[in-house]
């Protein structure tokens, strides 16, 4: 402890000196100078340069002063007037889902069902008999024409059967909350027209009780099981190797987008073990903060996994639990207080047993773990806050940093309750502008105006609002998300309830310091401050001053993690 204090005071000394005239004789490893800096640190304004040693920031100041700290051995990065900011933290994404999306069919841009069928046909031609054809990202609201025939806008699976009779097909909805499958996948999963809906799930059937091909929420588990049976035929080494390949691609995608830290919204213990092995061998590039997604019994018997803190030199921390209480709005899974405006009598799906969630909440409270509950609908948000409050009231002043993931559609009366119980609203600005075309259809005007994507109202109430993309639900691109945060503009250019816009500073803060705070890592990262990790990005646009429309075309020039340049486009 004394050593840490001593180091800190030396570092403080270094900064104070750097702001005047640095006296240190010790050379630094890297300097970045001539930058237009956003530090996210209220004390460190008017900075144009930074000095780095042993992976951490040791000084910030003027270019002239910082250059004096360099020796011949020092790496000198001229930012050439470009924008320099703290490494971007993805506040809610799915690292394994991102990896697998990079090796499967990408259906995000498909403008019609026919386009998707053609992609599956192409994949089926190349596949070995029995191989699964996996795709991700379709969204019926993005199709220009409705498929014929259809049920509720969904096509029938026969169109897929025609092009892939022998290969099971699994196409995940953009939200991840429903999937589309063919007859072969249904057969392997044992699903027939007679199969009853599982609790919290829907096997979508038409008026004649015929399976359409869409499985919502927990109904997808039957397909997962069939897929796992196929996967488990491979050895653990083979499975680990293909996971590692996807993981590596995912980290590459992060670095390319300026992401130096990633909050993973749901790894199982197997994935945690694989990540830990990479951390221990010094192979993790990005800093990962993981929410474990497992059932209550598994959580209790694997408590050891939660001792992972800053493994691999600050690259892996596992001290949070994720539970999904409902689904997504697009796929009618968000759990609402009142029925959907465009599906009579339907209030969405409660996808996790309330008593089990209460037990997990008590477990997290006892073990000082962060609890992160996915809640999209207003009913799911209300239930979550109720369950949180039951634990937090035991010690209301405690620093728990429990989070509601998404907090998308809230009853206005819930906002002060977030503040009352100090709950973090872990939101994703890009969901607002992507969902906007169907929000009024699903919720009606009143609920859309008063309760949808209320990030400014949360901020005004003093609630911490974080940011991220929920990748692979959306692209990982943080600049598209920041653009959404500050404009609320949909693709057609219309702003969705613009009074809820963030300022540029608020948006940048939400992606840096707020995200660091929401993982108990605000002392180590989130701002450019002396003593913190040298996680830094250099961008080709000044996100504070550039033209609003230019934000979305921002390009990353360099991504630096722990003082090392891990991505450079120059």
Residue numbers of the site for Zn ion (CB under 5 A)? 265, 470
Contacts of 57 (CB under 8 A, 6+ apart): 50, 51, 528, 529, 530, 531, 532, 533, 534
Rounded to a whole number of angstroms, the minimum distance from the CB of residue 209 to Zn ion is: 32
Strand partners, 466: 426
Contacts of 271 (CB under 8 A, 6+ apart): 96, 243
232: burial class by Cβ within 10 Å (0-12, 13-18, 19+)?
A: exposed
Smaller CB separation from Zn ion, 53 or 406: 406
Smaller CB separation from Zn ion, 30 or 428: 428
Strands annotated E in 150-235: 150-151, 154-155, 169-173, 178-181, 201-205, 211-217
Rounded to a whole number of angstroms, the minimum distance from the CB of residue 266 to Zn ion is: 7
**Hey, what's the torsion of the CAs at 214, 217, 219, 224, to 10 degrees?**
90
Distance CA 4, CA 10 (A): 10
Rounded to a whole number of angstroms, the minimum distance from the CB of residue 88 to Zn ion is: 18
Rounded to a whole number of angstroms, the minimum distance from the CB of residue 569 to Zn ion is: 28
Helix (H) or strand (E) segment spanning residue 90: strand 88-93
Rounded to a whole number of angstroms, the minimum distance from the CB of residue 471 to Zn ion is: 9
Smaller CB separation from Zn ion, 164 or 331: 331
Smaller CB separation from Zn ion, 317 or 426: 426
Smaller CB separation from Zn ion, 163 or 265: 265
Rounded to a whole number of angstroms, the minimum distance from the CB of residue 459 to Zn ion is: 22
Q: Which of 227, 127, 148, 136 is nearest to 179 (CA)?
A: 136
Distance CA 249, CA 476 (A): 13
Q: Which of 449, 518, 462 is nearest to 488 (CA)?
A: 449
Smaller CB separation from Zn ion, 226 or 265: 265
Q: Which of 13, 30, 31 is nearest to 22 (CA)?
A: 13
Cα separation values, 34 from 76, 193, 384, Å: 11, 66, 47
Rounded to a whole number of angstroms, the minimum distance from the CB of residue 452 to Zn ion is: 18
Smaller CB separation from Zn ion, 15 or 100: 100
Helix (H) or strand (E) segment spanning residue 380: helix 378-392
Smaller CB separation from Zn ion, 185 or 265: 265
Cα separation values, 490 from 73, 382, 411, Å: 49, 28, 23
Distance CA 91, CA 110 (A): 27
User: Phi and psi (nearest 5°) for 551?
Assistant: -55, -45
Contact 182, 213 (CB under 8 A): yes
Smaller CB separation from Zn ion, 311 or 480: 480
As a whole number of angstroms, the longest Cα–Cα distance in the chain is 82
Rounded to a whole number of angstroms, the minimum distance from the CB of residue 27 to Zn ion is: 44
Rounded to a whole number of angstroms, the minimum distance from the CB of residue 13 to Zn ion is: 43
User: How far from the centroid of its chain's Cα atoms is residue 321's Cα?
Assistant: 15
Smaller CB separation from Zn ion, 97 or 168: 97
Helix (H) or strand (E) segment spanning residue 559: strand 556-561
Smaller CB separation from Zn ion, 95 or 272: 95
Rounded to a whole number of angstroms, the minimum distance from the CB of residue 532 to Zn ion is: 27
Rounded to a whole number of angstroms, the minimum distance from the CB of residue 265 to Zn ion is: 4
């Amino acid at each position: 402890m004394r050593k840490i204090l001593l180091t800190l005071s030396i570092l403080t000394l270094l900064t104070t000196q750097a702001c005047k005239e640095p006296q240190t004789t010790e050379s630094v490893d890297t300097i970045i100078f001539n930058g237009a800096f956003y530090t996210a640190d209220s004390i460190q304004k008017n900075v144009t340069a930074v000095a780095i040693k042993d992976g951490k920031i040791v000084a910030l100041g003027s270019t002239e002063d910082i250059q004096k700290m360099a020796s011949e051995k020092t790496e000198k990065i001229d930012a050439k007037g470009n924008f320099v900011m703290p490494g971007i933290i993805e506040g809610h994404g799915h690292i394994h889902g991102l990896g697998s999306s990079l090796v499967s069919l990408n259906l995000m841009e498909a403008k019609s069902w026919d386009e998707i069928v053609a992609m599956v046909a192409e994949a089926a031609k190349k596949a070995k008999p029995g191989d699964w054809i996996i795709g991700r990202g379709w969204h019926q609201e993005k199709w220009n024409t409705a498929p014929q025939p259809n049920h509720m806008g969904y096509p029938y699976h026969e169109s897929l059967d025609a092009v892939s009779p022998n290969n099971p097909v699994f196409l995940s909805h953009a939200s991840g909350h429903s999937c589309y499958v063919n007859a072969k996948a249904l057969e392997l999963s044992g699903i027939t027209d007679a199969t009853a809906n599982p609790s919290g799930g829907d096997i979508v059937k038409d008026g004649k009780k015929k399976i359409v091909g869409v499985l919502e929420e927990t109904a997808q588990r039957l397909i997962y099981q069939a897929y796992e049976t196929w996967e488990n035929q491979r050895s653990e080494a083979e499975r680990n190797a293909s996971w590692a390949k996807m993981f590596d691609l995912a980290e590459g995608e992060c670095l390319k987008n300026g992401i130096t830290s990633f909050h993973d919204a749901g790894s199982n213990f197997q994935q945690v073990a694989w990540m830990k092995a990479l951390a221990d061998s010094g192979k993790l590039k990005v800093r990962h903060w993981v929410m474990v997604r497992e059932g209550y019994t598994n959580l209790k018997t694997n408590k050891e996994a939660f001792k992972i803190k800053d493994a691999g030199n600050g690259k892996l921390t596992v001290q949070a639990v994720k539970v999904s209480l409902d689904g997504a709005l697009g796929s009618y899974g968000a759990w609402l207080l009142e029925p959907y405006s465009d599906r009579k009598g339907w209030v969405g799906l409660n996808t996790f047993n309330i008593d089990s969630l209460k037990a997990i909440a008590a477990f997290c409270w006892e073990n000082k773990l962060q609890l992160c509950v996915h809640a999209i609908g207003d009913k799911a948000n209300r239930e979550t806050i109720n369950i949180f409050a039951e634990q937090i009231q035991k010690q209301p002043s405690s620093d728990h940093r429990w989070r509601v993931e998404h907090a998308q559609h809230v009853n206005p009366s819930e906002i002060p309750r977030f503040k009352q119980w100090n709950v973090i609203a872990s939101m994703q600005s890009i969901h607002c502008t992507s969902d906007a075309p169907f929000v009024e259809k699903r919720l009606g005007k009143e609920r859309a105006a008063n309760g949808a994507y209320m990030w400014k109202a949360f901020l005004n109430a003093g609630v911490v609002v974080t940011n991220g993309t929920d990748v692979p639900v959306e692209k990982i691109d943080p600049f598209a998300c920041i653009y959404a945060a500050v404009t609320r503009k949909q693709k057609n250019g219309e702003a969705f309830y613009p009074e809820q816009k963030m300022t540029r500073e608020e948006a940048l803060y939400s992606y840096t310091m707020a995200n660091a705070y929401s993982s108990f890592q605000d002392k180590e990262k989130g701002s450019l401050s002396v003593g913190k990790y040298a996680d830094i990005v250099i961008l080709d646009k000044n996100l504070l001053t550039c033209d609003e429309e230019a934000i979305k075309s921002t390009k990353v020039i360099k991504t630096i993690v722990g003082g090392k340049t891990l991505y450079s486009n120059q």
